[in-house]
Amino acid sequence: MKLGSRGCFALLTVLGCITCTRALATPGFYLGAGFGASYLNDQHTDYYGYYPYGYHWNGTGWQAMLGFRPIPFVGAELEYLDFGSGDYHGSGYSPYGNPYSSSSNRAGAGFVVGYLPVPFTGIDFYAKLGAGYLESHYDYPGYPGYYPGPAPYHVDRNETGFAYGVGAQFHLGPVGLRTEYQQILTLNDPALLSIAFTFNF
């Protein structure tokens, strides 16, 4: 009798673990898109390469992602990030005065994602590590009124850097809502704090 009771208890425990694991898992591919607040930190020199200056800018960015989560605790993700564009008034010393510039910054990134599911809640905490390729485009109008100030010029800069992110998500069936912070460690150190929707298929 005791052996039978123990056997039933062991069987129920195994079935419970399997059920819990299935409840936590959201296997398969997913698509997602989101938007949020972006941060840019440009460090550059003037036309002649002598006088460093930079700016810090907060704007609006957006993201699109394709991911694969084969098991509840590990997945992979490809992402496109647009950190926005805008006009900036620089800060720093220059003999021609503080420069004005405009820029656009976008990146592609790949991540390995680790999940920490909270049982029976539909909530996951996660962290992701990977690398990103950042394309930055700058337009500098020169220094009108200063002689011999440089003429307007354009700069393109491409960089590869370590990328990371942390976040939390809630999923109900195939639909998910997540909030996350992510950054690519380059000369600009662009970052995005976003809210995104995902859909599993």
DSSP state of 109: E
What are the residue boundaries of the structural domains of the chain, listed by start? Answer: 2-200
SS3 54: strand
CATH architecture assignment, domain 2-200: Beta Barrel (2.40)
Q: Write the CB contacts of 75 (distance below 8 Å, at least 6 apart in sequence).
A: 67, 68, 69, 112, 113, 115
Average pLDDT value for residue range 90-109: 64
- CA 40 – CA 52 distance, rounded (Å): 16
In the chain, pLDDT over 90 holds for what percent of residues?
49
- CA 42 – CA 53 distance, rounded (Å): 8
pLDDT at residue 184 above 80? yes
Average pLDDT over the chain, rounded to an integer:
78
DSSP state of 150: P
pTM: 0.75
Render pLDDT for 8-53 as a digit per residue (tens, 0 to 9).
555 545 444 444 444 444 579 999 999 999 988 766 555 455 555 5
